[in-house]
């Protein structure tokens, strides 16, 4: 469990290496769109794919949700707020023609990278640089 938000978490780094091994190029910690007030962890601009690596604690993963006992209400509101904002962000992106992909920090990053790579390739009609 990681209660501190960091920019470059180990799962993010693992996913990025796996994506590099897939031969993909991307930007990190970018707003997919300037009018969206949230950053994605990994952005494929021309394919319009935005990847978010969700921490199990912060985003209330169903498998590893550990709800702290101390200040339980505060934590619950915080984590549920994060989940709500994730959904809003995904909605926003979908309406704007993007494909949001959520990867859990507990996911196998090689498999996640394969999924992301397939999505990016299917959304990149020509051999353009992403």
Contact positions toward Zn ion, by CB under 5 A? 56, 61, 63-64, 104, 106
Output 31 or 64, the one with its CB closest to Zn ion. Answer: 64
DSSP string, 39-65: -EEEEETTTTEEEEEE-TTTTT-TTT-
Closest CB 4 distance from Zn ion, rounded Å: 17
Output 21 or 64, the one with its CB closest to Zn ion. Answer: 64
Please give the order of strands across the beta sheet that includes 99-104.
27-30, 40-44, 49-54, 99-104
Closest CB 66 distance from Zn ion, rounded Å: 10
Output 102 or 121, the one with its CB closest to Zn ion. Answer: 102
DSSP designation for 23: T
Closest CB 63 distance from Zn ion, rounded Å: 5
């Amino acid at each position: 469990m990681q209660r501190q938000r960091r920019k470059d978490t180990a799962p993010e780094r693992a996913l990025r290496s796996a994506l590099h091994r897939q031969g993909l190029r991307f930007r990190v910690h970018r707003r997919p769109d300037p009018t969206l007030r949230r950053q994605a962890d990994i952005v494929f601009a021309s394919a319009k794919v935005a990847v978010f690596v969700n921490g199990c604690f912060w985003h209330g993963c169903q498998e590893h949700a550990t709800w702290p006992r101390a200040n339980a209400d505060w934590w619950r509101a915080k984590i549920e707020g994060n989940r709500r904002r994730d959904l809003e962000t995904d909605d926003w992106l979908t309406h704007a023609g993007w494909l949001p992909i959520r990867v859990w920090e507990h996911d196998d990053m090689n498999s996640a990278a394969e999924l992301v790579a397939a999505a990016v390739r299917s959304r990149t009609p020509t051999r353009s640089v992403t």
